[in-house]
Amino acid sequence: MQDLQTQRAAPLEFRLIQGAETESQFSALLDQGFGLSGGAHYLDDFPIWSERFSELKTLRLGIFRGSRLLSAVSLRFATLKTSRSARMAVALIGAVVTEVESRGQGLASQLIQAATRLAEEGGAAGVFLWASDHGIYMRHGFLPMGQQWRVPLEALEFGQSEPTAEIVVNKGWNPALFHMICNRPDGLAHSPTDLGWYQAHKNVCWFWAGSQEAPTAYAAVGRGIDLQNIVHEWGGDSVTLHSLLRELRTRESSLQLLATEKLLDKNSLAVRNEDVIVESLCLARPITDEFSKLIAEPESFWIWGLDAV
């Protein structure tokens, strides 16, 4: 009883979320905050924010009362490949959560501000985040930016390509896919150190064709609590990719593909305008003029689904 009173009286403290005990509080707070139950865990879908991968350029900021974690925001430093074959240092904010009893007291706002300051001090040109409810973020200078096409697989047209006669679609993660992912000309840059968190996604379904050592096309569907029925990572040689996407839509006709107009063109994929849902890609808050100029052109940048945290 006295412990509880001491806890209540303790001042609020900002500190990094570190150590096994705090990690389990962090994980439980995310699960509670996002209303997960039935064995679903937020960190299974967003392993980038797990302490296991904290050697990466990530920081988890918390507001504590005593030893109790009340609110958390995570920050990742990354490099964006821009359409002009240049690279730009950026930061991503995610895993924004406050325990139910402590909401509406400005805790998440303070952490978002702190994370944005750290992003700036860390040399990021701008900050990205993803949210279905924009409320709190608009108040902190984030605006919807970029462009994403959501295309029903049923509506895709494959140009002149004929289905490849003998495509075998393999299911499941194959580490050789990561080589293709690192070599994508767009999105965030990945290096071998990213392999750990990337392959730790428990609820992503990978499909690929080609040999185990050298896949020629791939597509990933779902992530668990979001991106359900969404093909959010895809690529490879156009002919095999077309066959793979054809095969996926025969298996599940309700799938949608995330893309840009340019990405579709580059892969000889077409769709009628009336079948596309055009939406903003993310929320973004500029730090430098260079970033402001980049995001002012909606199609000048792209971020693939698993990096959209």
x-or-dash string of contact with ligand COA, 98-127, rule CB under 6 A: x----xxxxxxx------------------
- What does DSSP assign to residue 163? P
In this structure, are strands 170-171 and 230-236 parallel, antiparallel, or unpaired?
Answer: unpaired
* Shortest reach from residue 97's CB to ligand COA, in Å: 4
Q: Which stretch binds ligand COA (CB under 6 A): 94-102, 171-179, 237-245, 258-266?
A: 94-102
Quote the CA–CA distance of 253 and 255 in Å, as a whole number.
6
Count, residues near ligand COA per rule CB under 6 A:
17
The contact pattern for ligand COA, residues 123-162, with x = CB under 6 A and - = no contact, is --------x-x-xx--------------------------
Beta carbon of residue 291, minimum distance to ligand COA (angstroms, whole number): 21
Supply the minimum distance, in Å, between the C-beta of residue 213 and ligand COA.
39
Minimum distance of ligand COA from residue 202's CB (angstroms): 20
For 5-8, the CB contacts below 8 A with 24+ separation are 6/66, 7/65, 7/66, 7/67, 7/68, 8/65
| Pick 37 or 191: Cβ nearer ligand COA | 37
DSSP state of 143: E
Point out which residues pair with 69 in neighbouring strands.
Answer: 64
CB closer to ligand COA out of 109 and 161: 109
DSSP 22-73: HHHHHHHHHHHHTT--TT--HHHH-GGGSGGGTTSSEEEEEEEETTEEEEEE
> In angstroms, what is the minimal distance from the CB of 198 to ligand COA?
21
Site string for ligand COA, 60-89 (x = CB under 6 A): -----------x------------------
Q: Which one, 105 or 300, has the nearer CB to ligand COA?
A: 105
Task: Confirm if 80 and 301 have CB atoms less than 8 A apart.
Answer: yes
12/169 with CB nearer ligand COA: 12
Nearest CA to 264 out of 150, 177, 187 is that of 150
Pick left, alpha or beta for residue 146 (phi over 0 → left; psi -120 to 50 → alpha; otherwise beta).
left
User: Is 92 buried (19+), middle (13-18) or exposed (0-12) by CB count in 10 A?
Assistant: buried
Cβ burial, residue 133 (10 Å; 0-12/13-18/19+)? exposed
Q: Report in angstroms how near the CB of residue 80 gets to ligand COA at its nearest.
A: 20
CB of 265 to ligand COA, least distance (A): 31
Of 27, 34, 66, 83, which one interacts with ligand COA (CB under 6 A)? Answer: 34
Contact residues toward ligand COA (CB under 6 A) are 33-34, 71, 96-98, 103-109, 131, 133, 135-136
